[in-house]
Structure 1
Amino acid sequence: MLRSWWLAGLALVIGLAVAVPQFRGGLYWVGGVELVVFAVLAWSWSPLMFPRSVGAERARQDGRPVIYWRPGCRYCQRLRFRLGRDARRAHWVNIWADPLGAAAVRAATGGNETVPTVALGGQTYVNPDPRWVRERLRERR
């Protein structure tokens, strides 16, 4: 399954388009700061920020919690940041790359693709509190 890099790439291209005129005008400090800001934004939108996505079919097989997400979703990013290392205790399913994952989210949310959606113990939770998710993941050690 390919990981989606288009949003991160777009952020880098825009960052370069904004920073290069600053560099040409001799404003190296401003251009450097702008480039760093867009690089951080690109990283936060890249698949590197999230654990490797697996297919929804495989994610449901071993009983670990499943977190459905999509690139660019600020609520997914918030959840990922707040989970820290505990994020690797769950399977992450990118609904843009996995049609079965998108269908599972639509079934749980009444037809919408609202993410993050967490499937845990036969129940689904839409945009749950990151502290609650972290506690559930730590309980499953």
Structure 2
Amino acid sequence: MFPPVDRAAEAQARSAVDGRPVLYRRAGCTYCLRLRFRLGRGARRLHWVHIWPDPAVAAALRAVNDGAETVPTVMVRGRPYVNPSPHWVRTQVFPPT
């Protein structure tokens, strides 16, 4: 259902190279599911990171979200965006030309 999950460090490194956003999610999150389905095939263009397998990832997410593990959080050029609209995420993945 979701695209392959990267480790946080791999996702950040890949994002630095290709400029694609990193999306942090967790299992059972209805907002994450909604975003995934609304993005359709474009979801594969993001770097997906599941926050629960690695406690350091969850801690890093809390650090940028005022202590909360709020997902989905999309990191674009190092800046967090919490629960963004699917339309906004599409503009980050497929910028207008």
**How far apart, CA to CA, are the structure 2 residues paired with 1:76 and 1:135?**
17
How many residues align? The count is 92
One-letter amino acid matched to 2:72: P
The answer on whether the counterparts of 1:75 and 1:127 sit within 8 Å (CA) in structure 2 is yes
Structure 2 equivalent of residue 10 of structure 1: none
Which entry has the higher C-alpha Rg, 1 or 2? 1
Equivalent residues in 2 for 1:1-141 (5 A)?
49-63=1-15, 64-139=20-95
| TM-score, with structure 2 as normaliser | 0.88
The alpha carbon displacement at 1:129 in A equals: 0.8
The alpha carbon displacement at 1:101 in A equals: 2.1
| TM-score, with structure 1 as normaliser | 0.62
**How far apart, CA to CA, are the structure 2 residues paired with 1:108 and 1:96?**
16
Q: Which runs of 4+ in 1 moved over 3 A?
A: none
Uncovered stretches (5+) of structure 2, i.e. residues with no partner: none
The alpha carbon displacement at 1:96 in A equals: 1.0
The alpha carbon displacement at 1:107 in A equals: 1.1
One-letter amino acid matched to 2:41: R
Higher RCO (C-alpha under 8 Å, 6+ residues apart): 2
Question: Could you tell me the percent identity over the aligned residues?
Answer: 58
Q: Which has the higher strand share?
A: 2
Q: C-alpha root-mean-square deviation of aligned residues, in Å?
A: 1.4
Uncovered stretches (5+) of structure 1, i.e. residues with no partner: 1-48
